[in-house]
Amino acid sequence: MLMKIDNTLEKQFDEMGEDHTSAAEDTPLRDDAFDLDDSEKIARIRGSVHEIMLTLGLDLEDDSLKGTPDRVAKMFVKEIFGGLRPDKKPKSSTFANKYKYGEMLVEKNITLYSTCEHHLLPIVGRAHIGYISNGTVVGLSKMNRVVDYFAKRPQVQERLNIQIVRELQKVLGTDDVACVIDAKHLCVNSRGIRDIESSTVTAEYGGKFKNEDTRREFLDYINLETQF
């Protein structure tokens, strides 16, 4: 019976091919996602990685490999999927815009490391964020932290774009927020078609950024050559 179920799932995945996207703006999480503490999660993942490596025929008594299940488990829980924990969300303090700056603020070239939720392979790229203050501003580093938080989970790039913008809209109390992401997906670059040159660009525009002139100004800022 189990084999029959597995074969059915395998057929469904084969039919989907590479065209599997998620319609949800929120990261899909089970109701019991936070029932286990970090140590319990690490222990379970350690055992699973151990079994995967054994199945692949690797010698886990080798000095180079015997610590790998533990390293992978800790990396999953503490690092690359740390953004799954609500308590890790950055506290984004805002400040009154006392200097009455009314133009667009853009922070570009924010380094982005994420993980494709379809193959658990890296996504590496840059995020560019812009907003127009309606009376409050946020510290520049907080935008980097918001990107990092939502990137540290299994992701679809379109959803990541939306989550970043929605969070900053909430923090800033304005719809006038935009984010463009340009990233390489190693599930495309290193497997499958193995196209090492291609990258994926996605955008989410809110409020005034839906206006063509405002959007063009934002994109022009992104394309400015940064001088040091």
Active site residue 185: yes
Same domain for 114 and 219, yes or no, is yes
Same domain for 70 and 34, yes or no, is yes
Same domain for 67 and 152, yes or no, is no
Count of structural domains, the chain: 2
Catalytic residue among 50, 163, 179, 187: 187
Query: How is the beta sheet containing 154-155 ordered, strand by strand?
Result: 154-155, 104-116, 122-132, 177-185, 200-205
Q: Residue 3 has what pLDDT?
A: 42
CATH number assigned to the domain comprising residue 168? 3.30.1130.10
Same domain for 98 and 185, yes or no, is yes
Same domain for 53 and 116, yes or no, is no
- pLDDT by residue for the chain (228 residues), tens digit each? 334 445 554 555 455 455 545 557 899 999 999 999 999 999 999 999 999 999 999 999 999 999 999 999 999 999 999 999 999 999 878 889 888 888 999 999 999 999 999 999 999 999 999 999 999 999 999 999 999 999 999 999 999 999 999 999 999 999 999 999 999 999 888 988 888 888 999 999 999 999 999 999 999 999 998 777
Q: Torsion-angle region of residue 194: left (phi > 0), alpha (psi -120 to 50) or beta? A: left
Q: Is residue 89 part of a domain?
A: no
Domain enclosing residue 109, as ranges:
94-223
Catalytic residue among 107, 118, 158, 217: 118
Note whether 96 and 133 are within 8 A (CB).
no
Catalytic residue among 157, 163, 167, 204: 157
Same domain for 190 and 124, yes or no, is yes
Q: Which two tokens stand for residue 77?
A: 């829980």
Does pTM top 0.85 for this prediction?
yes
Catalytic residue among 50, 155, 185, 204: 185
Same domain for 103 and 171, yes or no, is yes
Q: Torsion-angle region of residue 32: left (phi > 0), alpha (psi -120 to 50) or beta? A: alpha
CATH number assigned to the domain comprising residue 64? 1.10.286.10
Q: Residue 19 has what pLDDT?
A: 54
Catalytic residue among 116, 128, 179, 204: 116
Same domain for 68 and 113, yes or no, is no
Active site residue 179: no
Question: What is the Cα–Cα distance from 180 to 148, expressed in whole angstroms?
Answer: 15
Helix, strand, or coil (residue 155): strand
For 98, how many CA atoms within 13 A lie in the half-sphere containing its CB? 3
Same domain for 49 and 104, yes or no, is no
**SS3 sequence of 106-134:** EEEEEEEEEEECCCCCEEEEEEEEEEECC
Q: Is residue 110 part of a domain?
A: yes
Same domain for 210 and 111, yes or no, is yes
Q: Residue 164 has what pLDDT?
A: 98
Q: Is residue 25 part of a domain?
A: no
Beta strands 154-155 and 104-116 are parallel
Catalytic residue among 50, 117, 128, 155: 117
Active site residue 20: no
